Amino acid sequence: MSFYSRVITAFKRKTPAEANGSRSSHRTPWAAEQAGNTRRARHAVPVLGFLALVLLTAQPALPVEPVASSPVQQSLADVLEKITPAVVNIAVRSQASAENNPLYNDPFFRRYFNLPEQRQRLSAGSGVIVDAGNGYILTNHHVVDNAGEIAVTLKDRRRFTAQLVGSDEATDIALLKIEAENLTALSLGDSDRLRVGDSVVAIGNPFGLGQTVTSGIVSALGRSGINVEGYEDFIQTDASINPGNSGGALVTTDGRLVGINTAIIAPAGGNVGIGFAVPISMASAVMKQLIEHGEVRRGRIGVAIQDLTPDLAEALGISETYGAVVGSVENDSPAARASLQAGDVIVAVDKHPISGSADLRNRIGLAPVGSDVEIEFLRDGSRKAARLRVEPEGANEGTEAMPRALEGARFQDAADNVVVASVDEGSAAARAGLQAGDVIMAVNRRPVNSAAELASALKEVTGTIALDLYRDGMRLFLVVR
């Protein structure tokens, strides 16, 4: 007998008729049947309830899923509490020449009015401690340019006089040093891995108000054209950057330094949501050279380059859309010794992808002179690599002074030709229509085969300069006045 049958049997009770058969004998069969049905229904209720209880207790227990606790996200305030002591205020006292007025040359006039030879100028900015042990502070070149005295104030209000280790105008980076203990330094992040949309925080000293924090996102990368003479690869952000923020920190939300705030676009003098920072990869490369040499010694490999455009990529039969196309190669240059050729497309330097000619110029220009770099390039659809040594900028270039109409252009020798190596944006040469990569054939119908011959021919020109040149496979005649 099953378990459930035994349970039902145990709960059966004798009916009154069964207990006293004589009293139910006079009922009709139909009445007896109805009475039996009623009694069975009445006894079935507790039996079914008990069975339901047994079935429920007999079911195996279901596994209880643990409630997953959501990870505790660190507040940005907690991150800032740790890193803001690494951002300092910088006050600069510099000397500015007094206005030139003939009366100032009169000794009596100067003595009577007690005029100083020079007037003092005060300015303020920001800086970032990047090496607590040595007291190194990164800031902007324009913050400390022509400084007579530099004062650094920490967040805890300690004040120190800073020493200028070195400064580089082309990248707008300067390095200071203070003698202090218990400093907090910011950890360096990887600015090469930033993406548009990443959250960032700007920390600085806007308008001399004191340390201020603003937040935003990376709104663009690889910006250039801010400083026409500089090496540029700016991070653009909409985090509010105002006058006085220069030299301050641009950090990720986990507290890593990815940029040095340096410039704003401010038609009305205030923030409009477009600010720029020097990537920390560039700033740290400059810092290493400033520590070692006190200046930046830029390198070159001896090529004239231009951006890889879709049209050029189609003409060269390659699928890549980024890179720098070699227009020409200097004789006896590192590129020539590495067998680079015109038409090669440089796509990487030391495994770093190259986005264009400005990126290649930055990578090579900030590589230590005398160091070896690995160049990856495309030729005839194949990817090749070559190692070459970076030589000092200016080596094997024509250095004689150019006429005023061609100022801003630099020329170099390349396979018995003269190539325009670069043209500063906004310069006289740029306004005249000269472009990087142009091959100059003649000056006022006089053939030239080297930068030295070009300089000699230009010296003899007294009026209009007529240049015969090749550009993008076409021969042009450029008149420069």
Residues labelled as active-site residues: 142, 172, 246
User: Residue 271 in 3-state DSSP?
Assistant: coil
HSE-CB at 459 with a 13 A cutoff on CA atoms is 8
The whole-angstrom separation of Cα 283 and Cα 174 is: 9
Residue 371 vs residues 32, 77, 207, 231, 368: alpha-carbon distances, Å: 115, 43, 42, 19, 6
Q: CA-to-CA distance for 263 and 173, rounded, in angstroms?
A: 12
DSSP, residue by residue, 103-117: GGG-HHHHHHHT--S
What DSSP assignment string belongs to 291-304? HHHSS---EE-SEE
What tokens does 126 get? 């920001």
CA 65 from centre of chain: 44
Rounded Cα distance, 280 and 284, in Å: 6
Question: What is the C-alpha separation between 406 and 398, in angstroms, rounded?
Answer: 13
Residues 6+ apart with CB under 8 A from 379: 341, 343, 344, 345
Helix/strand/coil for 158? coil
Task: Report the DSSP pairing between strands 87-97 and 118-131.
Answer: antiparallel
Question: Percent helix, strand and coil across the chain, each rounded to 5?
Answer: 25, 35, 40
Decide if 141 contacts 168 (C-beta within 8 A).
yes
Cα atoms in the Cβ-side hemisphere of radius 13 Å centred on 293? 12
Structure tokens at 216: 């935003």
**What are the backbone angles phi and psi of residue 53, rounded to the nearest 5°?**
-65, -40
DSSP-derived 3-state class of residue 144: helix
List Cβ<8 Å contacts ≥24 apart for 450-453.
450/398, 450/413, 450/416, 450/418, 451/397, 451/398, 451/411, 451/412, 451/413, 451/418, 452/398, 452/400, 453/418
What is the token pair recorded at 346?
A: 């440089």
Packed helices 29-58 and 3-10: angle between N→C axes, nearest 10 degrees: 130
Quick one: how many helices (H) and strands (E) in the chain? 12, 28
